[in-house]
Homo-oligomer: A and B are copies of this chain.
Amino acid sequence: MPKILSPVDLSVTRFDQAVPGHNRWHPEIPAIDTVEPGEVFRLECLDWLDGQIKNNDDPSDVRDVDLSVAHVLSGPVAVRGAEPGDLLVVDILDIGTLPDMEWGFTGIFARENGGGFLTDVFPEAAKAIWDFSGIYATSRHIPGVRFAGITHPGLIGCAPSHELLAKWNAREQALIDTAPDRVPPLANPPVSDNALLGQVSSGSPDYARIAAEGARTVPPREHGGNCDIKNLSRGSRLYLPVYVPGGNLSVGDLHFSQGDGEISFCGAIEMAGWIDLKAEVIKGGVERYAITNPIFKPGPVEPHYSEYLVFEGISVDENGEQHYLDTNLAYRNACLNAISYLQKFGFTPEQAYLLMSCAPIEGRISGIVDVPNACCTLAIPTAIFETPITPS
């Protein structure tokens, strides 16, 4: 078993772990360790909300979640020799659950606290608990489905430089300023509450400054971060831009499974767990390959399906108004069409929404030029259902 750089103890919170993680992005959060290129290492990870969501049937924990906790990350890990402008070649060798938490959760956040892609249709909180039986997940809250997880880290990336961090904060604040009172907010600025900064202890002189500057972890950005890409799955090889010496790689938000879009926001099957990684360095790779955002090769053991039922959506809204090539709206309609359809097979709207969030759903931008309608598709592998769901 590889060396565990960040053991986690699920009986205590992020504040009491032997090796503290972090939940903000900042170049001054010190590396927890330095690894050699090619060395395999393991990071154990708390779930992204640090245990706030419980294995029970009451969604009030989802409704009342404190999102300033998110995402509790493991790391950063420095890679010897990595310098700004290099590419870090990261192999995601494997991901697994922790013996004390062989279950996960999928939630619909309330409109007032987090929201989600269909929050205006589903303003109330809901949740589903998933039990893991080896490679499979089932839920007492969504009977009739079983599927193999396409397990992946929702969040992985290198630490930003000061310059990059400043750019993030500036552009996101500018967006917030356009509608500062919006619910849910357009973006989330740095906030000191609940800031966890690794080995920068809350009593240290730098803590307040770093907490006030540290970027929130929800958005994906140039460094990757919270991309929530289901196909960045076990066995993937990822190429990450390096911005600070050592790279300072962090990871968290492990997902047992997720559908494209992760539409209910807390939409993956969220879990605590471990991830085995190996990193190597391509010197000067950022410029050599014209890298702006990370690129990757998916792993070879994703569950594969041969039969799908596909739903289409176009960019006309519920009021019949025509929008111009709006893929968000088109995908929204594809999702709503699938949810309406699944109700004909006995699922509640909430069950269907949760399922479209966490099952291995393909969400595709199918046509984006046929003015004025974008066409998006949502493809459901029919094998996840215990009984047939095609029209007859």
Give the CA-CA distance A230 to B304 in the complex, in Å. 17
**A-side interface residues toward B, CB under 8 Å?**
1, 40, 87, 89, 91-94, 96, 99, 102, 116-117, 133-136, 148, 167, 171-172, 174-175, 184-188, 218-222, 224, 226-232, 234-235, 239, 260-265, 267, 276, 278, 282, 285, 288-314, 316, 320-328, 331, 333-334, 337, 340-341, 343-344, 362-377, 379, 382-383, 390-392
B366 touches A228 (CB 8 A): yes
Interface pair B367/A364, CB less than 8 Å apart: no
Give A77 Cβ to nearest chain B Cβ, in Å.
Answer: 16
**A327 near B321: Cβ-Cβ < 8 Å:** no
- Judge whether A171 and B321 touch: CB under 8 Å: yes
Q: Once the chains bind, are A367 and B175 in contact (CB under 8 Å)?
A: no
- CB-CB under 8 A from A340, the residues of chain B are 290, 292
Expressed in whole angstroms, the minimum distance between the Cβ of A153 and any Cβ of chain B is 13
Which residues of B are found within 8 Å of A323, using beta-carbon distances? 175
Complex CA gap A299/B200 in Å reads: 46
CA distance A309 to B231 in the complex (A): 11
Q: Does the CB pair B227–A295 fall under 8 Å? A: no
Whether A231 contacts B379 by the Cβ 8 Å rule is yes
Known pairs A297-B390, A312-B293; A234 contacts B375 (CB<8 A): no
Determine whether the beta carbon of A300 is less than 8 Å from that of B303. Answer: yes
Minimum CB–CB distance from A87 to chain B (whole Å) comes to 7
Residues on B with beta carbons closer than 8 Å to the beta carbon of A222: 314, 316
Closest Cβ of chain B to A381, distance in Å, is 8
Q: Which of B102, B186, B221, B290 contacts A324 (CB 8 A)?
A: B186
**Cβ A93 vs Cβ B133 within 8 A:** yes
Question: Among B220, B316, B344, B366, which residue has its beta carbon within 8 angstroms of that of A370?
Answer: B220
Within the complex, the shortest CB–CB distance from A339 to chain B, in Å, comes to: 9
CA distance A285 to B392 in the complex (A): 9
What is the total number of copies of this protein in its complex? 4
How far apart sit A364 and B333, CA to CA, in the bound complex (Å)? 16
Which residues on the B side are within 8 Å of A171 (C-beta)?
316, 320-322
Asked whether A293 lies within 8 Å of B337 as measured between CB atoms, the reply is yes
Closest to A295 in B: B311
Compute how far the CA of A40 lies from the CA of B288 in the bound complex, rounded to whole angstroms: 39
CB pair B300–A93 under 8 Å, yes or no, is no
New A-B pairs, 11, CB < 8 Å, besides A263-B368, A290-B341, A297-B310: A1-B102, A91-B133, A117-B369, A135-B301, A186-B371, A219-B314, A230-B366, A260-B365, A262-B370, A293-B311, A297-B308
Centre residue among A174, A184, A310 by max chain B CB count within 10 A: A310
Closest to A253 in B: B370
User: What residue in chain B is nearest A234 (Cβ atoms)?
Assistant: B135
Which residues from chain B contact A374 at a C-beta distance below 8 Å? 328
In the assembled complex, which residues on chain B have CB atoms less than 8 Å from the CB atom of A344?
288-290
Residues of B within 8 A of A221 (CB): 314, 316, 373
How far, in whole Å, are A239 and B391 apart by their CA atoms in the complex? 8
Q: For A293, what are the chain B residues with a Cβ–Cβ distance below 8 Å?
A: 311-314, 333-334, 337
CB-based contact A367/B220 at 8 Å: yes
Are B229 and A366 in touch, CB under 8 angstroms?
yes
B265 and A369 form a contact (CB under 8 A):
yes
Give the distance in Å from the alpha carbon of A296 to the alpha carbon of B310 in the complex: 5
Task: Give the nearest-CB partner of A218 in chain B.
Answer: B370
**Cβ A94 vs Cβ B135 within 8 A:** yes
Contacts of A102 on B, CB cut-off 8 Å? 1
Taking CB atoms, residues of chain B closer than 8 Å to A363 are 364-366, 368
The answer for the CA separation of A230 and B364 in the assembled complex, in Å, is 10
> Chain B residues near A133 (CB, 8 Å)?
40, 91, 93-94, 276, 278
